Chain A
Amino acid sequence: MAELAERTEVMTVNIGPHHPATHGVLRLVVDLEGEVVKDLRPIIGYVHTGIEKSCEDKSYWKVIPFVERMDYVSYFFQMEAFCGAVERMIELEIPPRAKYLRTIFLELNRIHSHLVWLGTTALDLGAISMLWYCFRERERILDLFEMATGQRMHTRYFQVGGVIEDIPLGFEAKLREFIADMPVRVGQYQALLDRNEVFLSRTKGTGIVSRERLLELGVTGPLLRAAGEPWDLRKAFDYLAYPEMDFKIPVGTVGDNYDRYRVRVAEMVESTRIVEQALDALPEGPFIADDRKYVLPPRSELSTSMESLIHHFKLVTEGYRVGPGELYYAIESPRGELGCFVLADGSAKPARVHFRDPSFVNLQAFRDMSVGSYIADMICSLGMLDPILGGVDR
């Protein structure tokens, strides 16, 4: 019998852009040798909608709903990055209650974002029930958002100067119920996954990238922390109510996909703690700054005060002007450093709004995570990378 010569051949496979495992409209061109990934190129831009360009044609307050739609899972963070940048440019101090309210909503949004990640990633790995459990809790967060802001997603709740409205009656009780339940739910997720044989064999030891390489590639957020680097902008920089909060930064040890999972799950518990502390310490007082040149006057004043009416009219028609200058303001989003660069030319519209989106930068590490691994592990790594393509493409 003639012996079959061993033959290896590199096959190029196109995955996406429409594929459930790519978590959005991401296209991957993968060179495979058998099942092993030899090279990989992410191709992006399929949901590029020119948001940054559109922002240049909108007055500052109209930019807020635009930027929210970049990373559509962590919309509160985009709002905070933009509003915070503008507030720092016009040197407008926001009242303490607004700081605390923003902190509460940001952390709820972080839990929401991690829940979406956990549900969809576990789904990719075959744990279908996780999706239902995670979306059950996510639904409660969205209900809270709806109660306070009127919208489930893209809430436009943060304004330059504070937040648009105070939290309604009954919100606190409902939030406290959620805070009490959430750690229990996280415990249930952990009971399902932490020592699950299938989950462990899929995640342990896969997708490892060294801490040094991650830093070179500019990776931030849970991916970096899973590699053992305790870097979190909430601790490093002073913004909102984070300096007064007591929370830990979960870190991993080896930086494999299992560590990434553990770090994010631990972050959900820490975020719940932050929400609880912020709610306990929520100061009384105004929820938005009292500077009529930048902040809309209360609705009730419009029928009695001519001056308020003029301010309202000016703010709604032209908007406020921001003196020439530029600023980069970065916050810790669920995916890492979310930076907003605003360039003002003195008019009522920004001359440039740029978002340093963590998904966009983190995606560069995907090649390092996947080359040399099996294609199935590549799918796992992509889930653990947690890119939101709306944020990548903007």
Chain B
Amino acid sequence: MPDAPGLELIRGEIEQDHPGAVLDTGFEHGCASLAIDPAHVLGVLGWLRDAPGQGYRFLSSLHAADYLPAEPRFAVHYELLNRDRVERIRVKALLADPGEDSLPEIDSCVELFPTAEFQEREAYDFFGIVFNGHPDLTRILLPEDYVGWPQRRDFPVGGEPVTFTYNERNYG
């Protein structure tokens, strides 16, 4: 893990190329994280991957989280790993909720990290986060015709009716 001063150095260097990209840095439980503006996500991820001295070439995990009631509400987490130095860094792209009828959008990082393909589909499936430029952004685990984004915090647990043929026949 980069330590807290190391994280500030990374922030400073990213700011040179992408002003305004890093919104905040965090260091908790021995894990470093960068909160970034989603508009710069590809720039920051690409820099962390390719810049000399960085080399976070392995994307361990990509997942989304819903911070309701905080603002901005959503975040896409990129758990990057440098396998030579055995260091992890988390990049969090903070996404505001655009309201009822539209979905939050962010650029897809499949070009940079092909491993993200399934994981971005999963984030889309459960949180309704649209990854622009993804080759095949469809639901992955839920049925194609499913309505709603079930892992959002305002989606009730148990909101899914259990369909028994008996009930349908007699009470349908």
Q: Which residues of A contact B (CB under 8 A)?
A: 44-45, 48, 50, 52-54, 56-57, 88-89, 91, 215-219, 231, 236-237, 325-328, 330, 337, 339, 341, 343, 351-352, 354, 356, 360-361, 363-364, 393-394
24 A-B residue pairs with CB within 8 Å: A45-B139, A48-B142, A52-B151, A53-B157, A57-B157, A89-B29, A91-B29, A216-B114, A216-B115, A218-B115, A231-B83, A236-B86, A325-B29, A326-B28, A327-B31, A330-B60, A351-B65, A356-B63, A360-B118, A360-B122, A361-B118, A363-B118, A364-B117, A393-B141
Report yes or no: B150 in contact with A328, Cβ–Cβ below 8 A.
Answer: no
**A44 contacts which of B57, B88, B141, B155 (Cβ < 8 Å)?**
B141
Chain B residue contacts of A89, Cβ below 8 A: 29
Chain B residue contacts of A54, Cβ below 8 A: 157
Residue of B nearest to A364 (CB): B118
Report yes or no: B157 in contact with A339, Cβ–Cβ below 8 A.
Answer: no
Number of B positions contacting A (CB below 8 A): 39
**B63 contacts which of A219, A231, A354, A393 (Cβ < 8 Å)?**
A354
Residue of A nearest to B68 (CB): A351
Report if B52 contacts A (CB, 8 A).
no
Report yes or no: B60 in contact with A352, Cβ–Cβ below 8 A.
Answer: no
Chain B residue contacts of A352, Cβ below 8 A: 65-66, 151
Nearest CB in chain B: distance from A214 CB, A = 10
Nearest CB in chain B: distance from A331 CB, A = 12
Complex alpha-carbon distance, A351 and B157, angstroms: 13
Chain A residue contacts of B10, Cβ below 8 A: none
Residue of B nearest to A323 (CB): B28
**B150 contacts which of A45, A50, A88, A364 (Cβ < 8 Å)?**
A50
Chain B residue contacts of A326, Cβ below 8 A: 28, 65
Chain B residue contacts of A91, Cβ below 8 A: 29
Report yes or no: A339 in contact with B141, Cβ–Cβ below 8 A.
Answer: no
Chain A residue contacts of B160, Cβ below 8 A: 50
Chain B residue contacts of A330, Cβ below 8 A: 60-61
Complex alpha-carbon distance, A74 and B166, angstroms: 37
**A351 contacts which of B31, B63, B153 (Cβ < 8 Å)?**
B153
Report yes or no: A364 in contact with B157, Cβ–Cβ below 8 A.
Answer: no
Nearest CB in chain B: distance from A71 CB, A = 15
Complex alpha-carbon distance, A56 and B67, angstroms: 13
Nearest CB in chain A: distance from B155 CB, A = 8
Chain B residue contacts of A360, Cβ below 8 A: 118-119, 122
Nearest CB in chain B: distance from A81 CB, A = 12
Q: A89-B29, A231-B83 known; A215 and B57 CB under 8 Å? A: yes
Report yes or no: B151 in contact with A328, Cβ–Cβ below 8 A.
Answer: no
Report yes or no: B141 in contact with A45, Cβ–Cβ below 8 A.
Answer: yes
Complex alpha-carbon distance, A91 and B67, angstroms: 23
Residue of B nearest to A218 (CB): B115
Chain A residue contacts of B90, Cβ below 8 A: 328
B83-130 with Cβ < 8 A to chain A = 83, 86, 88, 90, 113-119, 122, 126
Complex alpha-carbon distance, A50 and B126, angstroms: 10
Nearest CB in chain A: distance from B128 CB, A = 14
B121-153 with Cβ < 8 A to chain A = 122, 126, 139-143, 150-151, 153
Report if B59 contacts A (CB, 8 A).
yes
**B115 contacts which of A339, A361, A394 (Cβ < 8 Å)?**
A361
Nearest CB in chain A: distance from B134 CB, A = 13
B47-69 with Cβ < 8 A to chain A = 57-61, 63, 65-67
Report yes or no: A218 in contact with B31, Cβ–Cβ below 8 A.
Answer: no
Chain B residue contacts of A56, Cβ below 8 A: 153, 157
Complex alpha-carbon distance, A217 and B60, angstroms: 10
Complex alpha-carbon distance, A160 and B22, angstroms: 35
A44-B141, A356-B79 are known; give 7 further A-B pairs, CB within 8 A.
A53-B151, A218-B115, A219-B115, A352-B151, A354-B63, A354-B65, A356-B63
**A218 contacts which of B59, B77, B126, B143 (Cβ < 8 Å)?**
B59
Chain A residue contacts of B28, Cβ below 8 A: 325-327
Report yes or no: B79 in contact with A328, Cβ–Cβ below 8 A.
Answer: yes
Nearest CB in chain B: distance from A31 CB, A = 16
Nearest CB in chain A: distance from B65 CB, A = 5
Residue of A nearest to B77 (CB): A341
Chain B residue contacts of A231, Cβ below 8 A: 83
Nearest CB in chain A: distance from B148 CB, A = 12
Report yes or no: A328 in contact with B31, Cβ–Cβ below 8 A.
Answer: yes
Nearest CB in chain B: distance from A236 CB, A = 5
Report yes or no: A356 in contact with B157, Cβ–Cβ below 8 A.
Answer: no
Nearest CB in chain A: distance from B105 CB, A = 21
Chain A residue contacts of B118, Cβ below 8 A: 360-361, 363-364
Residue of B nearest to A343 (CB): B65
Report yes or no: A218 in contact with B58, Cβ–Cβ below 8 A.
Answer: yes
Residue of A nearest to B66 (CB): A352
